[in-house]
């Protein structure tokens, strides 16, 4: 009987997480402004030299932060959508930044992360957040979580959970993205 109660609790929490969307995260501790990146060493970045939020804002970029870890199925099943979004809007001013925050010890090894970045065909910058400092600065709680940031550095939209082209979360995020890019 205990296992049935556990199963119910697990399924309920998974449903709540998967149905959460950006503005209804309910995380009142989420900052209004995107915190500066916490890792400034070249060894903490893949596909890029270290970036700063300030430099991206100065370039009038709309930023999409993808909080992920490579053993998260929901994360990697969202990559085709994320890659399509990048391809479609990058020239208009979208900058995707992946923040890889590991759940397990083997996910902290840079070569393992690099293999997964290549496997998933991620071309955007990825910051390695092995010590959870950026995770904590956003008061993040889940993989994947997406944060959409306007040209002033304000977090204007966020959502939790696996996302695919055409689903409600993807449509909401893309509509907000188009609105921000239109205002450039």
Torsion sign (Cα): 72, 111, 88, 58 = positive
Prediction pTM value: 0.85
Q: Which residues of 128-167 are buried (b: 16+ CB within 10 A; e: fewer)?
A: bbbeeebbeebebebbbbbbbbbbebebbbbbbbbbeeee
**What does the DSSP 8-state code read for residue 148?**
E
How many domains in the chain?
Answer: 1
Average pLDDT over residues 111-124: 98
Confirm whether 26 is domain-assigned: no
Confirm whether 45 is domain-assigned: yes
Confirm whether 174 is domain-assigned: yes
Confirm whether 2 is domain-assigned: no
What is the model's pLDDT at position 2?
52
CATH number at residue 111: 3.40.30.10
Encoding tokens for residue 137? Answer: 């600065």
- Tell me the C-alpha distance between 171 and 184, whole Å: 20
Could you give the 3-state DSSP secondary structure of residue 128?
strand
- Looking from the CA of 172 toward its CB, the CA atoms found within 13 Å total 17
24-43 tens-digit pLDDT: 444 557 789 999 999 999 99
Closest CA to 142 of 122, 169, 166: 169
- Tell me the C-alpha distance between 80 and 111, whole Å: 22
User: Phi/psi at 151 (nearest 5 deg)?
Assistant: -70, -10
Closest CA to 78 of 144, 25, 19, 124: 144
Banded model confidence at residue 106, pLDDT cuts 50, 70, 90: very high
Q: What average pLDDT does the chain have?
A: 88
What is the model's pLDDT at position 107?
98
User: What domain range is 138 assigned to?
Assistant: 31-182
What is the model's pLDDT at position 18?
40
132-181 tens-digit pLDDT: 999 999 999 999 999 999 999 999 999 999 999 999 999 999 999 999 99
What is the model's pLDDT at position 17?
41
Confirm whether 39 is domain-assigned: yes
- Tell me the C-alpha distance between 148 and 96, whole Å: 9
Confirm whether 152 is domain-assigned: yes
Confirm whether 10 is domain-assigned: no
Confirm whether 13 is domain-assigned: no
Lowest mean pLDDT among 12-16, 39-43, 47-51, 126-130: 12-16
């Amino acid at each position: 009987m205990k296992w049935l109660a556990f199963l119910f609790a697990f399924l309920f929490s998974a449903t709540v997480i998967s149905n959460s969307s950006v503005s209804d995260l309910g995380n009142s501790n989420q900052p209004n402004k995107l915190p500066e990146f916490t890792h400034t060493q070249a060894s903490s970045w893949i596909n890029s030299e270290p970036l700063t939020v300030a430099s991206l804002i100065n370039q009038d970029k709309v930023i999409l932060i993808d909080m992920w870890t490579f053993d998260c199925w929901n994360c990697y099943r969202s990559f085709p959508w994320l890659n399509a979004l990048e391809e479609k809007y990058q020239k208009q001013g979208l900058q995707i930044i992946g923040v890889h925050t590991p759940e397990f010890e083997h996910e902290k090894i840079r070569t393992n992360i690099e293999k997964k970045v290549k496997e998933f065909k991620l071309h955007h910058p990825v910051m390695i957040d092995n010590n959870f400092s950026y995770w904590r600065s956003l008061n993040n709680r889940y993989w994947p979580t997406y944060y959409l940031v306007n040209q002033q550095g304000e977090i204007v939209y966020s959502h939790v959970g696996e996302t695919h082209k055409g689903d409600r979360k993807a449509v909401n995020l893309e509509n907000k993205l188009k609105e921000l890019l239109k205002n450039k």
